[in-house]
Every structure is written in structure tokens, then in C-alpha cells.
Structure 1
Amino acid sequence: MICQECHQRPATLHFTQIINGEKMQLHICEVCAQEKGHMFPGGMNDFSIHHLLSGLLNQQGSNAVSFQQTEQEKSLHCETCGMTYPQFSKSGRFGCSDCYEAFAERLDPLFRRVHGNTRHSGKVPERSGGTIKLKKEVDQLKYELRMCIEQEEFERAAQLRDRIRELEQQIAHL
């Protein structure tokens, strides 16, 4: 893709702006971005995902947090590496893999805000996704089946049961 400003260099920066529900995309090169002031201060190399995460963590803590909560955060630490929650929120990096569990109660709201959910579902590759998509559909239908049984919607449950059997047969033949 070519830069929308100079029409000479390849566009390496892609901005999406939504104003009053109207989406506008801008694709520009680094030179034009610096000239137009679209770059982060100090250049792109000064910005990292860790700074973004750290900013989100600090923003999360700025919503009228009580003194008691900040004391809880100070005492929250990882037993394995000793990292405290304030250290993590400042750096945006974990000290070890056990930090995920140590700070789990504080991470779930962050993940919900950033991703909209706490469970990552990811994308399925087109080439090998046939079986995976079918298995996901079966899992979803089994969940719906349990809900229908709990709500005593037995006709709908029978339809779901039949559909699950069809899909499981398709999976077995792949």
C-alpha cells in the first residue's frame, strides 16, 4: 500500500479514527507521519506494548481507588519471583510465568476492557479449520443443549441433540 500523503513511499503506519460513528482510515509512511505530527514523541522506537499496558494499568487504578485497595495492591506479590503489583503496573511486564496467577484477580478486568472478554478464542486457519470449526460448533451446541434441558425446552433440546449427532458424524468422516 502506498502512502496517502506523498504517494511515493510504502505506507507503514495505519491509523483508524472513529468520530461520531464514522470510520476513517489513514495509511501513511514514517516520513509523512513525522512531518504531520502523527508519530509518538521521540519516534516509534520509544513506544512499546509494555508502555501501553502500563498506561492501561495506571488508568485502571485512577478511577477513585480507595486507600484500602492501594494497600491491597502493594501487598499483592508473586511468591515465585517476588514482583509486586505496583512494580508490574509500572513496567507492564511480568517477572515470571507465575505472575499471571498471582495477579489474576486484577488482570481479568483489564483483559475485559482491552479484549472485551477474558477468554481468548483466536482465529482458525482456513486450510486446517474445517474440523476445528465443527468441534467448536459441537461444543456450542452442547452448551445450548444443557441450557435447554435446564429450562425444560425438550423439543429444542431434541433438535440440538440431532444436530450434534450430525456434526459428530461429519467430524468422524474427516
Structure 2
Amino acid sequence: MENTHEARGDRAQLCQRCETRPASVHMTTVVNGEKFDRYLCEECARQEGAYHFMLAPQFTIQHVLGGLIGLNPSGQRAAPIPDKQCPTCGYSYQQFAETGRLGCDRCYQAFGNELEPLVKRLHGSVEHHGKVPRRSGQDILHQRTLEDLRAKMREAIAQEAFEDAARFRDQIRTLEEQHVESQGSQDHGTV
């Protein structure tokens, strides 16, 4: 028979395994769509092997970043870490690897080559475009794409890369034509 005292004020729930210590671990298991709840003390949870995923030892952002940048969770170097420092604040890349924090806003530039692959692994991309409203989202995305292409075209012209500039110009024209066509079809498609 299981002892399942509710923690309602004066009586704490006891461990359902040993029935002596207070339950501090709540485990939920779903088998064939049926949910089973168990309340165990830390000792019984550890003996059942259910406690290995819990936060003892402390699991922090440093563990995540450390794994991504070549440190194991104990802080030992698994891969060589660049010996770089931010010229503004003096913070080192090693310190970033250990703490998961940068010293100042200039650290992003100082450690840019090292941070870019890390950000890409964490977020899937190094570019942030923000959220776009559904109703006008296509127009906004279209405008952003055109702005990006125009900036690339200006940069290509400044660098005298005229073939690249012509390619960007053609992409801009194509996008503008497609946009005009899609606007016309939307206007005619609605009654």
C-alpha cells in the first residue's frame, strides 16, 4: 500500500518508495497514454537512477557554452581556445568561455570570428530579422530584401565590382517586377 499524504499545510508527502523521508522529487511517466505520478525522496530517486538528469551538480549556461566552445563541463579545455583579449575592456576569450559572458559591447567585434560559429550553432543563423506581422509581412520582407540588394549593389559599385553590381541590379528589377505582378493578381483575385 502506498503512502501518498498530500502536502496541504501540516503534513508533507512521504516518499512512495521508502515511506519514511519527505518526497522532494516528482516523477511523471506516461506509458501507453496513461500517466503515472510518483513522489520520491532524493535518496530513492538517486537509487532508481532517476536523479542523474537533475541539477546536481549545477547545470548552467556556462556548461552549454563550454560544450560548444571546446570546454567540458568541469572547465577543462577539450580544444584549443584562442588567446584573444578585447582591446576596450581587456576581457579575454578564455574568460568568456568560462563565464558565458562578455565584458563589454566591443567584445562582440573583438571575438567576432569565434562568436559567429557559436551563434550560428545556437540560433541556426547569424542574422536577426525580427518578427513580421502576417498581414503586411510580405511587403515588409520584400522591402528588406530590396534594401539589402541595393546596399550590396552600392558596395559593389564602390569597390568597382561592376559585374556584381549589375547582377544585384538585375535581381532588384526581377523582384520589383514580381512584386508588381503579385500585387495585381491579389487585387484582381479579391471580390
- Normalising by the smaller structure, the TM-score range is 0.5 to 0.7
Alignment partners' CA distance in 2, 1:151 and 1:99:
33
Q: Does 1:39 align with 2:53?
A: yes
Q: Does 1:161 align with 2:176?
A: yes
Residue in structure 2 matched with residue 50 of structure 1 by the alignment = 62
Give 1:107 deviation, angstroms: 0.8
- Mapped contact 1:78–1:102 kept (Cα < 8 A): yes
Alignment partners' CA distance in 2, 1:122 and 1:8:
41
- Mapped contact 1:50–1:92 kept (Cα < 8 A): yes
Alignment partners' CA distance in 1, 2:108 and 2:63:
18
The structure with the largest alpha-carbon Rg is 2
Give 1:103 deviation, angstroms: 0.7
| Structure with greater proportional helix content | 1
Secondary structure, counterpart of 2:89 in structure 1: coil
Q: Does 1:7 align with 2:35?
A: yes
Tell me the percent identity.
29
Greater relative contact order (CA < 8 Å, ≥ 6 in sequence): 1
Aligned residues: 132
Alignment partners' CA distance in 2, 1:157 and 1:78:
39
Q: CA RMSD in A?
A: 4.3
Q: 1:135 aligns with which of 108, 128, 140?
A: 140
Q: 2:118 aligns with which of 110, 113, 118?
A: 110
Give 1:168 deviation, angstroms: 8.2
Alignment partners' CA distance in 1, 2:168 and 2:87:
44
- The superposition leaves residues 105-126 of structure 1 with CA deviations (integer Å, 9 ceiling, x where unpaired) of 11112222333321123444xx
- The superposition leaves residues 46-75 of structure 1 with CA deviations (integer Å, 9 ceiling, x where unpaired) of 21223211221125x846x5xxxx5xx22x
TM-score (norm 2): 0.48
Secondary structure, counterpart of 1:108 in structure 2: helix
